[in-house]
Amino acid sequence: MTKAFSGTYAALLTGFADNGELDRGRQDNIVDHVLKQALTGLYVGGSSGESGLMSTDELLAQQGMVADRAKGRDTVLIAHVGQPSLADSMQLARQAKALGYRGLSALPPHSYPFSDEEILDYYTGLASATDLPLIVYEIPSRTGRALPFELLSALLQLPNVIGMKYTSADMFKLCLLRRHHPDKTFFYGFDEVMGAAVFLGADGGIGTTYNVLGNLYTALDAAVRAGDVEKGRELQGISQDYVEKIIATGVMPGVKFTLQCLGVDCGPCRKPMKLRNEQAQQDLKAFVTNDVPFRHWLAL
């Protein structure tokens, strides 16, 4: 049975002007490019969108820009609203509801070492802010610690919580969560091993490189579900080749550099984030320009 919201989502990038200001034209360019691809939807305002470098007012504005640009399309919009302040998160959630977003997601509260009880209280408050389905988030690399199984299990039982975005290398914990909560929807967040997570029961993926390779990840998801191991391995290998290149440049800067190489005026990352390593940039440009398997999956 297909679960609610299952599928593939681009963790949408943010368009900035050269001076670092939010830029509607460049945001529209990014949305237009991603919407050409065979994805289920867009995940707006998350870490891939540099939300940690944006104000709440900017995130509110971005929600509106994306909703306007995607209007009339059969695209599922999920708003990431996870701010350190519950009040800011609730403001983002309520506007997303008013704009017609179909679901919400949120990082655990961060910036301080919050206790398990504080994290549970945060999600309880956020889940009650609207009636939109809420996707909780496990990402130890961003929050500084892996949340214990007992806390994640409790979060999945909150009203309105329909599932979890899981971005952790602890695949056994993902399997346990699935086993104990078979009715919930689980998304995987490490693009380079997404196929392994789908094999283990993930219901889809949400990722940064989907902005470029959305067609590939949708095909990878389908191949694994169909039991086509060789096809899945081939597609995941293309993904890994690309991820290896952008790790050397910085992930978000590398994906934006890729879009620029493809003729998409998406702008730079917001400082202090920037492209690293001149040689890595040259290697990435050569890969994007010349690698035949990679180019096969680009949106036209």
Which residue out of 165, 184, 245, 256 is catalytically annotated?
A: 165
pLDDT in tens, 194-227: 999 999 999 999 999 999 999 999 999 999 999 9
Which residue out of 123, 137, 166, 210 is catalytically annotated?
A: 137
Active site residue 165: yes
Q: Residue 1's pLDDT is what?
A: 54
Smallest Cα–Cα separation from 16: which of 28, 7, 33?
28
pLDDT in tens, 277-288: 999 999 999 999
Residues 6+ apart with CB under 8 A from 73: 35
Asked whether residue 196 is domain-assigned, the answer is: yes
Tell me phi and psi for residue 226, to 5 degrees. -85, -5
Active site residue 137: yes
Tell me phi and psi for residue 103, to 5 degrees. -160, 170
Asked whether residue 297 is domain-assigned, the answer is: no
Asked whether residue 140 is domain-assigned, the answer is: yes
Asked whether residue 283 is domain-assigned, the answer is: no
Asked whether residue 20 is domain-assigned, the answer is: yes
Asked whether residue 233 is domain-assigned, the answer is: no
- Looking at every residue in the chain, the average pLDDT score rounds to 97
Q: Which spans in the chain are helix H?
A: 24-35, 56-70, 86-99, 116-127, 140-143, 149-156, 171-180, 194-199, 210-225, 229-249, 251-261, 278-290, 292-296
What's the CA gap between 172 and 174, in Å, rounded? 5
Range of the domain at 153: 7-227
Smallest Cα–Cα separation from 143: which of 47, 42, 10?
47
What's the CA gap between 2 and 45, in Å, rounded? 26
Residue 103, helix vs strand vs coil: strand
Asked whether residue 287 is domain-assigned, the answer is: no
Number of domains observed in the structure of the chain? 1
Asked whether residue 282 is domain-assigned, the answer is: no
pLDDT in tens, 90-144: 999 999 999 999 999 999 998 899 999 999 999 999 999 999 999 999 999 988 8
Burial of residue 96 (CB within 10 Å: 0-12, 13-18, 19+) is: buried
| Integer CA distances (angstroms), 16 to 20, 62, 271, in order | 5, 11, 10
Torsion, CA 92, CA 94, CA 95, CA 99, rounded to 10: 130
pTM of the predicted protein model? 0.97
What's the CA gap between 162 and 157, in Å, rounded? 9
Q: What CATH number is given to the structural domain containing 143?
A: 3.20.20.70
